[in-house]
């Protein structure tokens, strides 16, 4: 049962949850640099640690999606055109 492929709707829900959790980690991490209250900052730290663990578990399950594919080292195609940017 553990290695069985996921159903289509489960996989798409996982896609949504994983992207949501990814954004949560990023936000809680970067907000730590903006926050004033130390207790709030510690809570955000805790959230980042817990979310990283949760995200790892979700990614593991997501590997069983029917549309799973080998993940490249970096983004397949650069999407931001940096040519024409002048370096000073």
Partner 1 sequence: MNYALHEVLEVHEMAVFKTTCLTKSKTMKALVTDERLQGIMQQDIDVSSRQLQEYASILSNAKQQ
Partner 2 sequence: MNNDYLDPINSIHVPELADTTFAMDFLLRAKEGVRNIAVALTESASPDVRALLRDQLMQGIAMHQEITELMINKKWFHPYELSEQYKLDQLSANNTVMIGKMNLFPVETNRKGLFAQTPDEHSDKQ
Cβ-count burial of 47 within 10 angstroms (0-12 exposed, 13-18 middle, 19+ buried)?
Answer: middle
Q: How far apart are CA 47 and CA 8, in angstroms?
A: 30
23 is a site residue for partner 1 (CB under 8 A): no
Segment contacting partner 1 by CB under 8 A, of 5-13, 24-32, 41-49, 80-88: 5-13
- 35 contacts 41 by C-beta, under 8 angstroms: yes
Select the residue interacting with partner 2 from 1, 33, 83, 88 (CB under 8 A). Answer: 33
Q: How far apart are CA 33 and CA 40, in angstroms?
A: 11
Query: Which residues sit at the interface with partner 2, rule CB under 8 A?
Result: 11, 15, 18-23, 25-27, 29-30, 32-38, 41, 48, 51-52, 55-56, 58-59, 62, 65, 67-72, 74-80, 82
Q: Which residues bind partner 1 (CB under 8 A)?
A: 8-9, 12
């Amino acid at each position: 049962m553990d290695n069985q492929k996921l159903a289509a709707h489960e996989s798409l829900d996982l896609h949504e949850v994983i992207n949501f959790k990814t954004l949560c980690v990023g936000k809680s991490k970067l907000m730590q640099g903006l926050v004033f209250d130390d207790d709030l900052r510690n809570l955000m730290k805790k959230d980042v640690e817990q979310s990283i663990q949760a995200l790892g578990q979700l990614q593991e399950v997501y590997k069983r999606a029917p549309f799973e594919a080998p993940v490249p080292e970096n983004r397949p195609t650069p999407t931001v055109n940096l040519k024409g940017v002048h370096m000073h």
